[in-house]
Amino acid sequence: SQTIHQWPATLVQPVGSPLSLECTVEGTSNPNLYWYRQAAGRGLQLLFYSVGIGQISSEVPQNLSASRPQDRQFILSSKKLLLSDSGFYLCAWSVSVYEQYFGPGTRLTVT
Amino acid sequence: GENVEQHPSTLSVQEGDSAVIKCTYSDSASNYFPWYKQELGKRPQLIIDIRSNVGEKKDQRIAVTLNKTAKHFSLHITETQPEDSAVYFCAASQGATGKLIFGQGTTLQVKP
């Protein structure tokens, strides 16, 4: 069966520091991969999605970037964090244009 | 682009009553409408979904209805239980990428 991992689970970083969040999927090939952000008490905002290695589409202009170096690995990065980057970051996968499943998430606090 | 509006933002019901959450979408090309349940501090869990070629889908106490003409869809939970208390999100999707546009969420409280 398919499994999705995210790490770290929680992270506290100072403003201006870099960021790297990792997501990996097991048990499937060539999944669609997504990064979402959820601010405290708010809905989910799509940040990036990828339909294949090296293919990244950005939904919201911001100081974040994403990369997909391997088929089942999706990385979210920033060179300099802002206070507004705090939130719950969720990676998701799908093997079709339909059912999408979320990872456990990374809770990021920028201080 | 697609926009999804969800109502109400909060909903409180007595155990055993029914709960209904409604969403409207703007893009008539959207063809897939999932519902997610998110418990406090946890990841969203897919609980039911419907595709645009179907008007209604049911899974035990949960059902979803879709009105393509009016561009709205609804989640119905019958015989609510305290463990149904959570935040529920609707979403809409269209195109080859499957990217989801979410509603703002509904906090459902089921009182014992």
Torsion angles phi and psi, residue A83, rounded to 5: -55, -35
More confident residue, B42 or A1: B42
Dist. CA A34–CA A99, nearest whole Å = 12
Contact between B91 and B33 under an 8 Å Cβ cutoff? The reply is yes
Amino acid at A35: W
Q: How confident is the model at residue A103 (pLDDT cuts 50, 70, 90)?
A: very high
pLDDT single digits (tens) B62-106 = 999 999 999 999 999 999 999 999 999 999 997 778 889 999 999
- What would the 3-class secondary structure string for A25-57 be? EECCCCCEEEEEEECCCCCEEEEEEEEECCEEE
Residue A87: list chain B partners with CB under 8 A. Answer: none
Give the nearest partner residue to A34 out of B32, B45, B99, using CB atoms.
B99
Report pLDDT for B97: 80
Report pLDDT for A90: 97
Residue B46: list chain A partners with CB under 8 A. Answer: 99-101
pLDDT single digits (tens) B50-62 = 998 889 999 999 9
Give the nearest partner residue to A94 out of B51, B98, B101, using CB atoms.
B98
Pairing relation of β-strands B106-111 and B10-14?
parallel
Q: How confident is the model at residue A35 (pLDDT cuts 50, 70, 90)?
A: very high
Dist. CA A79–CA A90, nearest whole Å = 19
Which of A89, A88, A95 has the alpha carbon at shortest distance from A26?
A95
Contact between A98 and A52 under an 8 Å Cβ cutoff? The reply is no
Residues paired with B59 in a beta bridge: B62
**In chain A, % of residues over pLDDT 70:** 99
Q: How confident is the model at residue A86 (pLDDT cuts 50, 70, 90)?
A: very high
Report pLDDT for A102: 97
CB of A103 within 8 Å of a chain B CB? The answer is yes
pLDDT single digits (tens) A48-66 = 999 999 999 998 867 899 9
More confident residue, A96 or A91: A91
- Mutate which of B43, B47, B88, B102 to test chain A, going by most A C-beta atoms within 10 A? B43
Report pLDDT for B2: 87
State the average pLDDT over residues B10-39. 96
Contact between A93 and A100 under an 8 Å Cβ cutoff? The reply is yes
Q: CB neighbours of B17 closer than 8 A, spacing ≥ 6?
A: B80
Report pLDDT for A1: 81
Dist. CA A105–CA A83, nearest whole Å = 19
Mean pLDDT taken over chain B: 95
CB atoms within 10 A of CB B24: 18
More confident residue, A16 or B98: A16
Contact between B111 and B14 under an 8 Å Cβ cutoff? The reply is yes
E strands present in B10-111: 10-14, 19-25, 32-38, 45-51, 56-59, 62-67, 72-77, 86-93, 100-102, 106-111
